[in-house]
Amino acid sequence: MTLSASNSGGTGNATLTLTIKPAVPVITSATTASGTVGSAFSYQITASNTPTSYGATGLPAGLLVSSTTGLISGTPTTVGTSTVTLSASNSGGTGSASLTLTINPAPAAAGQLTSNPASLAFGSAQVGSSLTLTDSLTNTGGSAVTISQATATGTGFSISGPTVPLTLNPGASVTFSAVYAPQSAGSASGGITVASNASNSTLTVSLTGTGTAPGQLTIAPTALSFGNATVGTSVSQSSSLSASGASVTVSSASLSSAEFSLTGISLPVTIAAGQSVPVTMTFTPQSSGSASGVLTVASNTSNTATQTLSGVGVAAPQHSVSLSWTDTNSGIAGYNVYRGNSAGGPFTQINSGLDATPAYSDTSVAAGQTYYYVATAVNESGLESAYSNEVEGAVPSP
């Protein structure tokens, strides 16, 4: 620029160099900002009057500022609130501003449910029976999950537990049972649906199974007659339990009368299809007269096997052993009778007083036993003779 000054004497000139600078930048960004540890952060410094460079001091760890663009970016690694001084410069000067920058903790991972196993395969089960498998639900996320509903779908499928509503903390699990009770033969499928506030709000566990036709249980013969049996003794006959169509599990057997009993089998027992198991039925009358009963066998079949039972109790016969002997001696006041259980004794007197005649009837004998007898003579002075010869008495049975 040329400067001049004139008067009557003339004009003087000089050269002036004049520099015009832009206005100092004014930062117009927000005075507060926030971010999260571990997450990408971005903050743009903006300013008027065309800054040519930018700066920032007091930045949290993990953040940097671009001097050419004014972009603060990076991934913060420390939680806390920092006071950051922002700057923007041009040839006219530098403007600054204060930024309150808050770095927040990372939020907890959302709750998530997983099932173990993810599906349940029951295999085969007879119609009328059931199979039970267990499964578990686990919260693998970082926050609590509340299960609001758990339901089973599909014919023949049901669940036992969990009791809802139920809250699972992170890492916690709950176990429940799934049941398959086929209602007809053939393949079946279904599922367990679990509703919750987890990130996967609906969890499904698939269910499969196959129903098979139930086996049939028969008992042969269907009726048993034991005929006459002495009271207190037992009479036995053989029977058998047979399975057809499919294997049969016999769970229990009951009798309507205590005079009949079942032996030869330990329950529960599984009988393979086409196989039989022998059993023994026994009649033990407790009193005289006709007796009847019914054997009922329970199993996992659709039918109930029964056998009718009958017999007659007969009173045991009364046995006795009659003894007699000859004696030619005179002056005999009477006789004593002795009995033993073994040949040669020892012997025990069985008459309560002297028998006047050489004969005696022993009515206190038991069926099936053998006894040995001797007798002695007692004279009028009370002297007793030696034992007579020994005789054997065998009592029939019964």
Give CA–CA dist 394/398, Å, rounded.
12
pLDDT (0 to 100) of residue 1: 59
CA distance 68 to 41: 18
Place of tokens 């993810």: 118
pLDDT at 2: 66
Q: What is the mean pLDDT of each run of 10 residues along the chain (398 residues)?
A: 72 75 92 95 96 97 97 96 97 95 90 96 89 96 94 96 93 96 94 95 96 90 94 93 90 95 94 94 95 93 90 89 90 95 95 94 92 95 93 90
- In this structure, the number of other CB atoms found within 10 A of the CB of residue 350 comes to 14
* Cβ neighbours around 175 below 10 Å, total: 12
Q: What's 355's DSSP letter?
A: B
Dihedral angle over CA of 264, 265, 266, 272, nearest 10: 150
| Beta-strand relationship, 260-263 and 348-349 | unpaired
Q: Which two tokens stand for residue 193?
A: 């649906």
Is the C-alpha dihedral spanning 300, 303, 304, 309 positive or negative? negative
Tokens found for residue 282:
């026994």
- 338 vs 360: CA distance, rounded Å: 11
Domains of the chain as residue ranges with CATH: 1-107 (2.60.40.10), 113-212 (2.60.40.10), 216-314 (2.60.40.10), 321-394 (2.60.40.10)
pTM flag (> 0.75): no
